[in-house]
């Protein structure tokens, strides 16, 4: 019966040989090799010299999520305040828009 027959053996594969990687280091380890004397072209030397004189623009300040939430909340509050003011100015207690919605108080 083939139902309980063993499967064929798996083919042999050679293990993967990993090459040794260099350890993580900073730039300070190789900085002694970098100098203006080692640059092959004078253009590169001028570029490196001008790099020190180059003024970087100030970093762009981005809006944080908290600032965005606060800004959105104040904007919505202002819109809501304007809407309430318009409704308050439009409302006339003596002439309601829907008379069925008015409260009637009376004594017997």
What predicted TM-score, i.e. pTM, was given to this entire model? 0.37
How far from 67 is each of 40, 72, 74, CA to CA, in Å?
50, 8, 11
Distance between CA atoms of residues 61 and 67, nearest Å: 12
Using the predicted structure, report yes or no on whether residue 38 has a pLDDT greater than 50: no
Q: What's the pLDDT at 39? A: 47
Using the predicted structure, report yes or no on whether residue 93 has a pLDDT greater than 80: no
Q: Which residue has the tokens 């640059």?
A: 39
Q: What's the pLDDT at 13? A: 93
pLDDT tens sequence across 45-89: 666 666 655 566 677 889 999 999 999 999 999 999 999 999 888
Per the model's pLDDT, the better-predicted residue between 51 and 94 turns out to be: 94
């Amino acid at each position: 019966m083939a139902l309980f027959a063993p499967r064929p053996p798996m083919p042999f594969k050679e293990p993967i040989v990993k090459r040794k990687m260099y350890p993580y280091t900073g730039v300070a380890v190789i900085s002694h090799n970098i100098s203006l004397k080692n640059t092959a072209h004078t253009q590169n030397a001028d570029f490196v010299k001008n790099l020190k004189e180059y003024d970087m623009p100030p970093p762009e300040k981005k809006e944080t999520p908290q600032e965005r939430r606060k800004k959105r909340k104040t904007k919505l509050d202002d819109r809501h305040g304007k809407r309430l003011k318009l409704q308050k100015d439009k409302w006339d207690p003596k002439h309601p828009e829907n008379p069925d919605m008015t409260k009637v108080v009376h004594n017997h």
